[in-house]
Amino acid sequence: MEFLINQEMLTSASSTDGSLFYQEKEAFTGVNKIAGKVMHDLELVFGYAPQVTTDRTKLGKTAVLYGTVDHSPMLQELEEKEIIDLSEVKGKREVYLFQVVNHPIVGVEKALVIAGSDKRGAIYGLFHLSELLGVSPLVDWADVKPQRKESFTLSEDLKYISKEPSVRYRGFFINDEWPAFGNWTMKRFGGFNADMYEHVFELLLRLKGNYLWPAMWSARFSVDGPGLANAELADEYGVVMGASHHEPCLRNGEEYKYLRGEDSIYGDAWNFISNREGITKFWEDGLKRSGQFENVITVGMRGEADTSIMGKEATLADNIELLRDVLQTQNQLIQENVNPTLSEVPRMLALYKEVEPFFYGDENTPGLMNSEELEDVILMLCDDNHGNLRTLPTEEMRNHQGGYGMYYHFDYHGGPISYEWINSSYLPKVWEQMTMAYEFGVRDLWIVNVGDLATQEFPLSYFLDLAYDFEKWGTNAVNKTDLYTKQWIQRQFAGVFSEDEMKKVFELLTGYTKIAHNRRPEAMNAEVYHPVNYKETDRRLEQIDYLLDLAEELYENVNPENFSTYFSLVYYPAVGNLNLQKLWLLTGKNNYDAKLRKMEANKLAEQIKECFKRDRELVDQYHTIDDGKWYGMGLSEHIGFIHWNEEEAKYPILMNVLPASKPRLLVSLDGTEQHTEGPAWHNNKLYLNDFLQPDIEEASFTISSISDLNADYKITSKSEWLTCSKTSGSLDGIEETMEVISVKIDRSAMNGETEGSIVVEMPIGTCTIIVNASNKDFSDLPDMTFVETNGYISIEAEHYFLNKESTSQHGDVHRFQVLEGYGKTLSAMKAFPTTEYFTVGKDAPYLEYLFFVQEAGEYEVALYMQPSNPVTKDGTLFCGIQVNDDETSVVNVLPEGYRVDGDNWAVGVIDNIHRHVSRINCLEGLNTLRIYAVSPGFVLEKLVIYPEGKNPADSYLGPAETYYVGKK
């Protein structure tokens, strides 16, 4: 007989069938509270709440029995009767047994037993039942309503033992919380108190996290509860509390501001040199107050308000010795006030910003690495605040007894530009970076800065699932982020959207996050994407409009009961991001067109105003849905940052054009900057070269008004093999300001011709478009050979001719793999294993590209790469480049003197690309280019080859991919 829960059972439970849940007085109170939340989940699913009892005799024939090993007489009794075997979970970390059993207790015929190895194991086991019922982890936080069920069954022989989480401490950091999160919690809960943290803790635990850094800009976690209520609630639920990198010994940085003073026992200076006694007392009292709870104690010290610890005049040795003194003092305080066995107290030192060199030292000054003070301390490494890892543990360093952590960012308040408004994180990037961290031995602590938390639910879910079950979602799950996204959508919207609609949600989520990955909304401006070259702006606008249409279609179709969930989790972050991108793309076109005096610029200005208005409306609507549930969460500035903060942010500058006094038109070639009004005494010839690529069958040019008077045009094709979509027309400069003319080629009619022409007659002149075309047959070249047809070759990295793997002396396979969807255009290539340093000619895998150029000579190859930082302190990232049989050049693709926070780094993280140019010698005709993996972290997205000194036209995404043999 299966384990069954149904509506009939729940409706009659109180009178006939007895209670479903059994609650023991010996259980942890936090576990019982979580069981109460799970019972509420059942009510949402079935429409009726299950009954709970503390009296076994009042249980029904079907029961849910839950508990924690060593805190449950009931579990002990079941084990003694050999109904369950707790040895499979005892002594393990955060593990649960989930088993259907027969006749466990007199009167109970069938029971589900949930046995946690510890408090969190029991909690995760209870929430596992909710998940099987189809309840989303966001049920409380984002009001995700589960699909209603009449009944639910589990197999009679079900027995499941969960895994130990892959990463020991997994959680998030509420940060940069003003003006958004702060206003939200003040209005909704009256402060940063336990009423608010109740929801945060539940979200964390439902996502299988266990570790939290609380809000700290103006908040005091252990004071705001009120009092210790926040800390006590965290401890009750089994949430391990930590604090940010500059808040040691269980005291928030804000606390010192309120307690300092000339007469204070803590002194009046956050300075361990001048106020050693006061600061030590401050730390000691923090440990005494909160040391009895489960914490990872932050150690170390930074300056007040997250600044450097000593002045600029201090030497590296001075800083290292001061930090050593601080650590010795803190360790002693922890021994005296928390646990005399220091190794049993989880502690963490963040190697963040200026603390990193104090750890590593330099060639003249030994750092704190391998010091006694840090022997059992988790060393928390960091990304560069923009999602790119900094240094990682070398093979030797991985033996550190305390292990390693990673501080990652989905939100950042700082240079070069802050991003705090809505989600702009991209799952393939998170996967690529965090899997590398794990493979390098960073497995003890993962914390991600989620800023205000709202709109970050999607990437946060992924981050915590990756940390909980790395075996499922990590290195072995290459290109599985799309699968994860589809499963996440299913969890939130099962029963809400049809399968076809869920596909649209998938397109919307992956589409907007990819666009945000290319350029975060705060960093957008009118000069990012080129307004005309390679049509990159028009193509991006087309994609944005498609996604916005999807968002609106779903908006119209979602039922009122699920509207706020769709709006907050998908619609608002997607449309907010896309609308802002559109605003800036249109501004770029407006400014460009206005400089050419096109009347179209005035239309574009009106569209920009609409986007600006829409931005304000979106925030206002977000603040009013669900009776203001999210009020405040959209308040972060997000338009036109030019510094790290919003000061002096530049809003769009709109350009309007005054009409010419007589009829005038302008012809421009789409995808280029070529244009003319056609006067005989100036340039009146344009060169359309699209058809030099054999796979191009259609191109276009645009005729634009420069006045508000009727202006006629006539188009004549001088070549039979060229046809235009129109032969004549008229623009009035008011309603009709432009006309895009499509040009099609019939190569079968060329009869050996390679040049044609199209004549456009306009009121004040004639424009001749010289059309260069190729009818060459390149079929004698190997498939995947890129052919230079228009002065350059552009290659998406995954379009190699050969992906050559190698084998190490230990038999390990070294190979490049495609990272689908990764990067700014199509995808990327990365060598695995990610921890390896490869030697060219020995064990380095390589990608081989074939390309054909018309002339021999000096060329340049530009490599477009993910903006990885070096995994070591030497500031280098190498790859090998070989052309034909020439000697392989092992080149550092980073500029000399590269460092995080430097100018080159800043450009890279804003543009989300590193670009390196090398000189190569090419033969006339067919050439071979090999790119070898050398350093970890090398991720190749695109290659562009062109004659030396003849750079292709400017663009943000790089030249669009050119023709290759076999291209379909």
* Band of residue 673 on the pLDDT scale cut at 50, 70, 90: very high
287 contacts: CB under 8 Å, gap ≥ 6: 249, 250, 297, 333, 334, 337, 338
Three-state secondary-structure class, residue 620? helix
* Band of residue 14 on the pLDDT scale cut at 50, 70, 90: low
Question: Does the pLDDT value for residue 304 go beyond 90?
Answer: no
Q: What is the pLDDT of residues 200-233, one digit of tens each?
A: 999 999 999 999 999 999 999 999 999 999 999 9
Question: Does the pLDDT value for residue 13 go beyond 60?
Answer: no
Question: Does the pLDDT value for residue 311 go beyond 90?
Answer: no
Question: Among 182-186, 475-479, 680-684, which is the least confidently predicted range?
Answer: 680-684
Q: What is the 3-state secondary structure (H, E, C) of 300-345?
A: CCCECCCECCCCCCCCHHHHHHHHHHHHHHHHHHHHHHCCCCHHHC
Angle of the 457-468 helix axis to the 427-439 helix axis, nearest 10 = 30
CA 353/CA 303 separation, integer angstroms: 12
Predicted pLDDT of residue 279:
97
For the chain, give the mean pLDDT: 96
Question: Does the pLDDT value for residue 106 go beyond 80?
Answer: yes
- Closest to 446 measured CA to CA, from 414, 420, 469, 427: 469
Predicted pLDDT of residue 355:
86
* Band of residue 310 on the pLDDT scale cut at 50, 70, 90: confident
Predicted pLDDT of residue 681:
85
Residue 264 structure tokens = 């204070």
Question: Does the pLDDT value for residue 458 go beyond 60?
Answer: yes
Residue 57 structure tokens = 């005799």
Type and span of the H or E element at 742: strand 738-745
- Identity at 240, one-letter amino acid code: V
Predicted pLDDT of residue 18:
87
According to DSSP, the residues that pair with 740 across neighbouring strands are 702
Q: What is the pLDDT of residues 109-139, one digit of tens each?
A: 999 999 999 999 999 999 999 999 999 999 9
Question: Does the pLDDT value for residue 682 go beyond 90?
Answer: no
Question: Does the pLDDT value for residue 936 go beyond 70?
Answer: yes
Contact between 840 and 934 (Cβ < 8 Å): yes
Pairing assessment for the beta strands 404-409 and 445-451 based on DSSP bridges: parallel
Question: Does the pLDDT value for residue 306 go beyond 70?
Answer: no
Contact between 405 and 380 (Cβ < 8 Å): yes
Question: Does the pLDDT value for residue 17 go beyond 80?
Answer: no
Predicted pLDDT of residue 874:
87
Average pLDDT over every residue of 254-262: 94
Average pLDDT over every residue of 45-68: 96
Q: What is the pLDDT of residues 730-755, one digit of tens each?
A: 999 999 999 999 999 999 999 999 99
Q: What is the pLDDT of residues 125-176, one digit of tens each?
A: 999 999 999 999 999 999 999 999 999 999 999 999 999 999 999 999 999 9
- Closest to 614 measured CA to CA, from 650, 588, 586, 649: 586
Enter the pTM of the model.
Answer: 0.97
Contact between 302 and 256 (Cβ < 8 Å): no
Counting residues of the chain whose pLDDT is more than 90, the rounded percentage is 94
Question: Does the pLDDT value for residue 307 go beyond 80?
Answer: no
Q: What is the pLDDT of residues 487-515, one digit of tens each?
A: 999 999 999 999 999 999 999 999 999 99
Q: What is the pLDDT of residues 92-101, one digit of tens each?
A: 999 999 999 9
